[in-house]
Structure 1
Amino acid sequence: MKGLHGWMRTLEKSEAAVLSTLIKELDQVTASDESSGAQLAEVILKDVSLTANIIRVANAVTFNPSNIAVTTVSRAVINIGFKNIRSICLSIKVLEAVLKDSPSPLLVAMLARSLHGANQAKALCEKLNNTEQEEVFVASLLSHLAELLVLGCHESEVRLLKREIEPSSSIEEKNRCAEKFLGVSLTRLAKTLTKQWRIEGLINDVLAGSGEEDPRVQAVILGDEISRVALLGWDSAEFKEVAQRVAEFKNIGEAEAMFALKKTADETAETVASFGKKVLVEHIPTSTRAAKELEKKYDNETEGLQPNTAIELEALERLDKLLAGDFNINEVFKLCLQGLHKGIGLERVALAIFDKEHQRVVVKYASGQSTEKWREKFVVRYERSRSGFLFNLFERDQAAWIGNSDYQHITQFISPEYLGITGQKRFFISPLATVRKRIGFIYADMGQTSRELNTSYFEGFHRFLDKSKEALTILAAR
């Protein structure tokens, strides 16, 4: 549980940090009546990916019904129009920041809902000028940015959060779950992030819960509620109640309000399709179909990972044959990790070795979901001091069950460095060394589901650890 400051450190590293600069530049250009398309194009051209995406969107049927090819940003601005350009640019950059590293179905659905809500909020303000409408859209979308960035993280706390919330969850429900698993509410994170990135404007009133008399703030709140209840169905009691609130807000009939809400949903789906992100479209309800339903379990291939005795025995037999001949130590290590992961049922396992200077330990091999980046991310310093975790681990030269009360003598030396890398406070770890040299360590945890480790897992960990140590002993004697 990282709390506010821990999650802020995580989110500040996000690519979304560039949004604040982009928003300010777009605001300056679009707010002036004297600004030209060339000035706006100049802002967009500073960002290569934004340039390419704006041209692609401008060529979509939504903005280019004549189907005349658009090849320049200046022409793209004309096609899309000043009244839409700020919201389109922001949407593209949010998509770019969020839809990376194989996003979970829940994250995709939440992003689709955020875009839908922002468009509904903007449509509620049709009597306001274009600049104010765009401000409403921006405030609505940015109010969800912290939430989207958190859901894009792979920490164990986020996986627990994902199991408790749904695309149709209210902000109150999401905040309660976030406080439980993250140690901070999503609203508080959003406020702090907005302040840290110096994002000004309507977004601050929305997050602060102030300015409730401001129709723009009301539109943002109501737009978000529309996107939520639309997921429950156009015929649901919840949607009909919100449609009545929309009718009162716009001073129109309820039937007219329901027609307008469905029309905006259709337009949102069309616009999102023009971004080239078709995976999002199916999560936006339209007048002719419901949004795609998600399964209860998200982003978790290891939910069903269980100990497999057959795989374990096969791996042990293969190791015995290898050790009886002229073996390659890397083959031994890989087979041990396979046995620990698929045989013993440990969800994430890794072999880490010392670098040439013997100052750091870096992951060489890893198995399990979300370990793809461990070779770059899982790097720990070797501190030659009595308070250093690795120093004590090698001094004791035995496997440790970190987080277990029987191993408090070694757990006490754990630093935030390890927790920041793996997100786990409970794991198995054992040093690997010969008489002459420290090699590295073997690591294992339940970082995907955060299931409890137990004695059976630890015994299985020891079985493959013993094979690794036997291989090192044989090599040292040669």
Structure 2
Amino acid sequence: MPIFSNTALSIHDILSDDRKGAMELAAVILQDPNLTVKLLKISNTPHYNPSRQKMVTVSRAIIMIGSEVIRELTLVCSFLESILSSTNKQQANEEIAQAIHAAVHAKAIAIATNDASPEEVFIATLLNHIGSISFWCFCGEQGERIQALIKDENYSREEAEKKVLGFKLIDLGASLSKAWKLGNLVEESIKSKALNKNPRVGLVQLGYEITEALKEGTGSKKYEACIRKIEVLTHQSQKVITEKLRNNTSTAFDIACQFGATDAAMLIQSRLNQAIDFEESSPVIDKKQLQFQISQDITSIISDRFDINLLLETVLEGIHRGVGMDRTIFSLLVADKQSLKEKLSLGWRKDSYEHKVIFHVMETPANIFFHTLSGTQAFWAKPSVNVKMYTLRDMNVVGKNECFMMPIFFNKIPIGLIYADRGLSREPLNDEDFNGFKYFTQQANIGLTLYRLQRD
């Protein structure tokens, strides 16, 4: 599950470093276009955005919703993207459905008890069965052997897991949560259920107890026991609790749909035997519309609460998503003017988030970076035309691709450049793309000019 692993670890590193903030968090999210689209789609739902202020950039979403909530949403989206891309079987979807359903119940109770962070309870509940979910999505023959032992030889779930795998899936979950640094509550709720006295871990457990009770029916002893537990915790009436549990199932269905877990959504609804018709359609991105929306964000940043880092990040997102580039980077000239060092990049495949891309500025012979910094306009470099400008050193860093570049100025002095290409997909560039690139990079230079004037 490399997508989830890399995302989870990168987010942990960023949020645990006081020197890093929204820009770095946005950069991690924007590495994955599918994750970006899904996160923005969910961020614009009434559940997370009751003010209904349209959010088209990740940076704006982080500011409006908060980095902690975005962290939680990113973990969920990334996790589900990793597992839903596999060959799911019935058991995997059962696990996912139960996890989402339990998470919604646990969060609702956390809100009712005035918990400091209901979203954290939601995530801890959703990822509580991460070992089981991960296994059943990728299990193959071992999963079939476990199912056979349970069905044909009356093994318990844990006995069957131990016999086939040599360990229990709950132990796998504990190991994964620790390796991926998913957070204290996730780890605590997985590894010590029986003796744990943390009331928040109790909320996670109660979420799953409710889903198990609903399988047996609303008249079952398990269901009545859950009602009594919730009654003690929230001091709500049984009527209010019953109505809330019913609404939670509908909410869980909606959330599963939003995350793209459509098979799991169907299973959630079937808990109440509700016949539904649901058709999932992938969002179609209109580049022109997206460019216009992001340009409105840029105008708002420049004219309102000016934040130079947010401006540059939004400009890069406009190029990356609005123009549709594979790799986009803003690099600053170092003190000796002999190289450019990455300040912010999107789509760059690197060994680690900490690694910075370095471009060398060569005057003799003049390479593409020197040529760009020597002018004042955007440059569309083409290997077939500018063959001598692609030095071996450059090709080792960026390859030999068509690319767009624009020098960035502060007080009329070049301080760096923005570079963009389609070096991964090899899709051709055209005049419309170049015009879009020029528009966004010009906004960066206009913003820096205004920033300097404000400082003066």
| TM-score normalised by L of structure 2 | 0.51
The equivalent of 1:21 in structure 2 is 9
Partner of 1:204: 187
Task: Choose which of 259, 263, 279 in structure 1 pairs with 2:243.
Answer: 259
Cα distance in 2 between the residues matched to 1:164 and 1:243: 34
Question: Where does residue 160 of structure 1 map in the other structure?
Answer: 145
Structure whose CA Rg is larger = 1
Q: C-alpha displacement at 1:230, in angstroms?
A: 2.1
**Structure 1 residue 112 displacement after superposition:** 1.4
Could you tell me which residue of structure 2 aligns to residue 281 of structure 1?
Answer: 265
| Structure 2 partner of 1:94 | 79
2:234 paired residue number: 250
Does residue 138 in structure 1 map to residue 123 in structure 2? yes
Q: Secondary structure at the match of 1:212?
A: coil
**Shift in Å, 1:61:** 5.8
Letter in 1 for 2:141: S
Q: Quickly say closer, same or farther: Cα 1:27–1:132, change in 2 above 3 A.
A: farther
The corresponding residue for 1:270 is 254
Deviations 1:148-190 (A, max 9, x none): 1110124312112245669xxxxx9432221132221112222
Work out the CA distance in 2 between the residues paired with 1:200 and 1:264: 25
- CA displacement at 1:114 relative to structure 2: 0.7
> For 1:291 and 1:275, how far apart are their aligned partners in 2?
20
CA deviation profile, 1:425-450 (whole Å, cap 9, x unmatched): xxxxxxxxxxxxxxxxxxxxxxxxxx
Q: 1:84 to 1:233 in 2, by over 3 A?
A: farther
Quote the offset at 1:126 in angstroms: 1.3
**Corresponding residue SS for 1:89:** helix
Displacement of 1:241 after TM fit?
Answer: 2.2
1:216, distance to aligned residue in structure 2 (A): 0.3
How far is the alpha carbon of 1:113 from its aligned partner? 0.9
Match of residue 459 from structure 1: none
Q: In structure 2, what is the Cα distance between the partners aligned to 1:243 and 1:108? A: 27
Letter in 2 for 1:233: G
Select 1:229's aligned residue among 206, 213, 226.
Answer: 213
Aligned residues: 272
Contact map agreement 2:253 2:268 (CA 8 A) in 1: yes
Deviations 1:76-135 (A, max 9, x none): 346656674333222211111211232112211210111111222222211566763222
TM-score normalised by structure 1 residue count: 0.49
Any idea what the Cα deviations from partners look like across 1:26-68, whole Å, max 9, x if unmatched?
A: 7549xx9x99766653453344332121122234465567877
- Name the residue aligned to 2:322: none
Alignment of 1:76-115 (within 5 A): 76-77=61-62, 84-115=69-100
- State the shift of 1:194 in Å: 2.8
The 5 A counterparts of 1:383-422 are none
Distance in 2, matches of 1:48 and 1:204, equals 29
> 1:50 maps to which residue?
35
Alignment of 1:288-299 (within 5 A): 289=273
Letter of the 1:183 counterpart: G
Return the alpha-carbon distance in structure 2 between the equivalents of residues 92 and 187 of structure 1: 22
Cα pair 1:272 1:278 within 8 Å, conserved:
yes
Please state whether the residue corresponding to 1:203 is helix, strand or coil.
Answer: helix
CA distance in 1, matches of 2:167, 2:95: 19
The DSSP-based 3-state class of the residue aligned with 2:143 is helix
Long gaps (5+) in structure 2 = 277-456
Instruction: State the alpha-carbon separation in 1 of the partners of residues 13 and 114 from structure 2.
Output: 19
Taking the aligned partners of 1:80 and 1:111, their CA distance within structure 2 comes to 25
**Could you say which residue in structure 2 is the equivalent of 1:188?**
171
The aligned amino acid for 2:207 is G
